[in-house]
Structure 1
Amino acid sequence: MHANVIRLHDTDRAEPSRLDPETITTPAPEQQASVRLAPLPTTGPYPPLFAVLGAHGGAGASTLAHWWAHSADSGVAWPASARTTQRVIVAARDCIPGLAAAADRLREWHAGLAPAGVTVLGLVVTAARPGRVPAAVRRYRRIVEDLVDGAIWSIEWHEELIVCELDELAQFAPTDPPPPRRAHLTTAVPIDVHRAGTAITARIAASRHPLSPEPSGT
């Protein structure tokens, strides 16, 4: 996967560049993600800035979409409606099956199998268990990173999630300051969730307001 991909655009951009579809091996049709035709839900005062797509069931998409107040949960389906955002963060568990599912979703996008208008901003991997990630998983994750130009964020295992209802969790808004360390999940999002949300928001801002090219010399 490292050596045989051909990029269609410059990689110095605010979002991962598309690969040449001719270089992509796509998953079988029965393994491809479904499509959501309805607009994404608007649960806050403003429409969502991006969607969180679970690469597989149990990827943590619902929790991430709740934590990031400016996002929406797209379940395991690509957002197809142009009435709400089609910017996508793919979510997966940090394990071989989760990363393989994420690779499938990303290859679908690169191959043009996602709905028209979909843009993938990156990949968020959530710990599959407490403790150190096995070396084999870390190696495979580095391969999958190629499909998002390295735009990948890791969320640690947060034990408190086991005893919290989803609507009890605190939320992150783009203007929020960094949360205190070791804060309860009902009062503040974890620091890694804040960092990932801040980075994703910055990528969206950069894609909406690209830097103007410097004037050429005379």
Structure 2
Amino acid sequence: MQTVGLPIVVLLAAVTVVGQSIQGDWHGALDVENDAPLRLALHVTLENSGLFKATLDSVDEDGTALPVDSFTANASAVRFEMKDIGGTYEGKIAAGGSSITGSWKQNGGTWPLTWERGGDPADMIELFDGKKAAQKGRSYVQSFYESKFSDLWAKLSPVMRQALVTADYLTKLRAQVQQRFGAEVNIVEENVKSDDALQIYNRIAKFENFPGKVKFQVAFNARGMVTKFSIRPVD
């Protein structure tokens, strides 16, 4: 009995040490080419079964408690997978357990990603408030009117760019707006409204070839990236 019991005790002790070193809250930022870093938060707990459970927050894409399907760790390495988005992370735990350095792989791409203990990634940058949303909203609309599509594309969130596929969408949309409405004549109303973590710039204007009013709406996340925009007639 003693011979069998000793390895079990050692194994349980090892699991406890690893659990203590990895569980808790972590924050990091994913540097995507030609884009602002995406702030991420990782939350790890150790279940009574000895298995790890984790969730991930994508702060700038308004994603919270995204499920991690599998999470494994030993004294020096971490690996987890998120099947819904086709993402995998592998990293090495620093001596002392204060950070994890590794790579995030998704859709054929690989990006460096370092996690550090604690901290709220939402506090890592200056808040994008209503005043900034008004300034950026006006700038965004003006760039759209002037067909500066490369500038506009760089300001879209990764989710928006994935949905639109290429900047050609903006080119086609600008042509449609010009054909249907013509040029903007004057601004009737302009405001910014908050919706949870979003700042939404609203611009209602009159156009030369349209008898009614047209509303241009641009939604910004906490980093000032565009998560939604629309152009439509209003009553």
Fold equivalence (TM over 0.5): no
TM-score under structure 1 length normalisation: 0.24
Instruction: Flag the structure with more relative contact order, 1 or 2, with Cα contacts below 8 A and sequence separation at least 6.
Output: 1
TM-score under structure 2 length normalisation: 0.23
Of Structure 1 and Structure 2, the greater strand share is in 2
| Largest Rg, 1 or 2 | 2
